[in-house]
Amino acid sequence: MRAPALILVVALGATSCGGDDGGSRAAPAPPATTVETATTSATSAPVTSPPPITVPVPAVVRYASPYPSLASARDLALDLAEAETTVRDASKSPDERARAGRRQQVRLRQLADAPAWDAGVQAALPVGLREPTRRNAEAGRLLLSMFKTFPDALPPWEIVDPATPTDLLRYYKEAQAALGIDWTYLAAINLVETRMGRIRGASTAGARGPMQFIPSSWASFGAGGNIEDDRDSIFAAARHLVASGRKPFDIDKALYGYNHSDAYVKAVKSYASVLQAEPQAYAGYHAWQAFYRTPIGDFLLPKGYKETSRIPMSEYATRPITLITP
């Protein structure tokens, strides 16, 4: 059995298999500033300055998205359409598609919070992007609906680079071939649970790993694997879905078994349906970052965020802002 999880507030979604959220891989060293030193000489001989001293910057910063909110439904639609088009263009470089995916995510989050803009956004979008946009916004709203209140402190997580999109896609499809669960559902769960494995750290219920298993569920479905390993965790999720789906297999029952929430079931199905209609959309989803919803707004938790205890928003809000590169 699963219960709604705290990680769900991250990115318009996330949960844990059998309990609350979770999400740890080594973070990069903190950024550094360079301090130049000066020298003097009593002679007229040239003076060679010593190398600059590198001073680490303490990791007490507040991260900000580089994408400000847009002022109208039309502006949002035009920016989203540009991002979506780049995400789906296989001729673009992986970096270009990832940047577009991050922008896509921010625009979809703004749309999820502004249902009054739906008609205007739909009217301004190219016809081919209207349905995936509707489904993405719907998924975000469903996941938000699972919470009556939001935490007033940031979580003790570490945000890391996920496995590559190529590797994860191979694991999803290997699990599909072995266990019959369509890869799009596994990718959608991975997206909702930990943003494809970006979020590391034990949840309040002890859930861990990229697909968020509590120890008892892992004992049943982990098959002796490593709970923190992407492939092992994806295969365990597929086994869980098979067991929950019963015979004849029913994907709604399978997803409900993974998390006892009708909203969760519908949200995962919405993301999966976008991938089923346009597999290239996966490049965008893979790039989505970890945002954390609080009573005072969304906070971006990028790669390098690492806290060992919960951080009250009253403290975090006083930290200097670091703007994340698009």
The predicted pLDDT at position 206 comes to 81
The predicted pLDDT at position 325 comes to 84
The predicted pLDDT at position 57 comes to 40
Mean pLDDT throughout 187-214? Answer: 91
In this structure, how many other beta carbons lie within 10 angstroms of the beta carbon of residue 310? Answer: 14
Mean pLDDT throughout 143-164? Answer: 95
Over residues 233-252, the pLDDT tens digits come to 999 999 999 999 998 999 99
User: Do the beta carbons of residue 133 and residue 80 sit within 8 Å?
Assistant: yes
Decide which of 104 and 23 is more confident. Answer: 104
Confidence class for position 205, pLDDT limits 50, 70, 90: confident
The predicted pLDDT at position 123 comes to 98
pLDDT(222) > 80: yes
**Pick from 85-89, 120-124, 205-209, 244-248: least confident:** 205-209
The predicted pLDDT at position 18 comes to 52
Rounded Cα–Cα distance for residues 26 and 148 (Å):
33
Q: Which helix (H) or strand (E) holds 312?
A: strand 311-312
User: Do the beta carbons of residue 189 and residue 268 sit within 8 Å?
Assistant: yes
User: Do the beta carbons of residue 289 and residue 301 sit within 8 Å?
Assistant: yes
Rounded Cα–Cα distance for residues 98 and 167 (Å):
16
Using CB atoms within 10 Å of the CB of residue 255, give its burial: 0 to 12 exposed, 13 to 18 middle, 19+ buried: buried
Taking Cα atoms as reference points, which of 182, 202, 194 lies closest to residue 233?
194
How many degrees, rounded to 5, is the angle at CA 304 between CA 300 and CA 310?
A: 65
Taking Cα atoms as reference points, which of 68, 70, 99 lies closest to residue 86?
99
pLDDT(219) > 90: yes
Rounded Cα–Cα distance for residues 99 and 223 (Å):
37
Over residues 64-89, the pLDDT tens digits come to 989 999 999 999 999 999 999 999 99
pLDDT(50) > 70: no
The predicted pLDDT at position 234 comes to 98
The reported pTM is: 0.84
Over residues 23-45, the pLDDT tens digits come to 333 333 333 322 222 333 333 34
Rounded Cα–Cα distance for residues 82 and 316 (Å):
33
Return the half-sphere exposure (C-beta side, CA atoms, 13 A cut-off) of residue 272: 20
Query: Residue 297: helix, strand or coil by DSSP?
Result: strand
The predicted pLDDT at position 194 comes to 96
User: Do the beta carbons of residue 274 and residue 291 sit within 8 Å?
Assistant: no
Decide which of 100 and 38 is more confident. Answer: 100
Rounded Cα–Cα distance for residues 228 and 201 (Å):
10
